[in-house]
């Protein structure tokens, strides 16, 4: 099976369209949550995903858009965009988001929006936090999103007391059967990358070849920005798309 692995679309329809066009053929999408929030196209992104074979988790912004969590934990721009999203979601979109789980295990892969320890909230940004999380799942691989930074955390079988951070290779796939260890893999964000690269970020997992491949693709940022402007969304959220920060 060939899986398209995406996360943190954040209602950015132009970015999602570019990822789908770039990905080639796939059997199934695994989406790690945060379909909405920040961006101008929440219903359009949900509808597009629902047209395709997919499985999705819920993220903190999906919960916020449903009123399932307290917005005081959000910064003011995130809060404004979340309140806008609440008013914008159709009944069907709300029902769809409301049904999504926050974590799941499928075969060799555990998935959580944020972390296996705290599926909705924790940011796995460094090897110390990643190391603690390896005890919270039993499969060889865990897929997470939430940070908007594509990265791999690697724990070797020879030294399970330590965890290493690997920058995502863009020159070819990783062969998962050769790694002699376990990994927490983050495909980065489709709709709001924060690693200094504004291109949409995603990954391809091939469970026959047992390969994982990080990918980036440019998209029409100015279309998303124009749609955000037209909806009165916060200027800082519009500008940051240019920089991928
Ligand atoms: Zn997010």
Region 202-226: what's the mean pLDDT?
98
Q: What is the pLDDT of residues 126-155, one digit of tens each?
A: 999 999 999 999 999 999 999 999 999 999
178 C-alpha to center of ligand 1: Å? 31
Q: What gap in Å lies between CA 157 and CA 182, rounded to an integer?
A: 7
Q: What are phi and psi of 22, to 5 degrees?
A: -85, -25
pLDDT, tens digit, 9 for 90 and up, residues 148-202:
999 999 999 999 999 999 999 999 999 999 999 999 999 999 999 999 999 999 9
How many Å lie between the centroid of ligand 1 and the Cα of residue 147? 7
> Which CATH superfamily does the domain covering 2-240 fall into?
Metallo-dependent phosphatases (3.60.21.10)
pLDDT tens digit string along 61-111?
A: 999 999 999 898 899 999 999 999 999 999 999 999 999 999 999 999 999
CA angle 67, 71, 75 (to 5 degrees): 145
Q: How far is the CA of 230 from the centre of ligand 1 (A)?
A: 22
180 Cα: distance to centroid of ligand 1 (angstroms): 30
Domain ranges of the chain: 2-240
C-alpha of residue 146 to centroid of ligand 1, in Å: 5
Q: State in Å: Cα 240 to ligand 1 middle.
A: 14
pLDDT in tens, 23-51: 999 999 999 999 999 999 999 999 999 99
pLDDT value of residue 58:
98
CB 150 within 8 A of CB 125: no
């Amino acid at each position: 099976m060939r899986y398209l692995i995406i996360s943190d679309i954040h209602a950015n329809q132009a970015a999602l369209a570019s990822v789908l066009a770039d990905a080639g053929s796939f059997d199934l999408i695994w989406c790690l949550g945060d379909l909405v929030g920040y961006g101008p196209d929440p219903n359009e992104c949900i509808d597009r995903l629902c047209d395709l074979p997919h499985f999705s988790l819920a993220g903190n912004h999906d919960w916020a858009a449903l009123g399932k969590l307290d917005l005081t934990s959000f910064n003011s721009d995130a809060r404004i965009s979340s309140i806008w999203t609440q008013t914008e979601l159709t009944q069907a979109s709300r029902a769809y988001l409301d049904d999504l789980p926050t974590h799941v295990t499928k075969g060799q892969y555990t998935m959580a929006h944020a972390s296996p320890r705290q599926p909705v909230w924790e940011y796995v940004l460094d090897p110390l936090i990643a190391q603690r999380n390896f005890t919270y799942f039993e499969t060889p691989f865990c897929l997470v999103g939430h940070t908007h930074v594509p990265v791999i955390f690697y724990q070797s079988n020879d030294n399970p007391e330590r965890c290493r951070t690997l920058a995502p290779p863009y020159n070819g796939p990783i062969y998962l059967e050769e790694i002699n260890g376990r990994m927490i893999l983050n495909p980065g964000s489709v709709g709001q990358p924060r690693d200094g690269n504004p291109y949409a970020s995603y990954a391809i997992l091939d469970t026959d070849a047992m390969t994982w491949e990080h990918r980036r693709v440019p998209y029409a940022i100015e279309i998303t920005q124009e749609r955000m402007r037209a909806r009165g969304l916060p200027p800082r959220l519009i500008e940051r798309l240019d920089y991928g920060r």
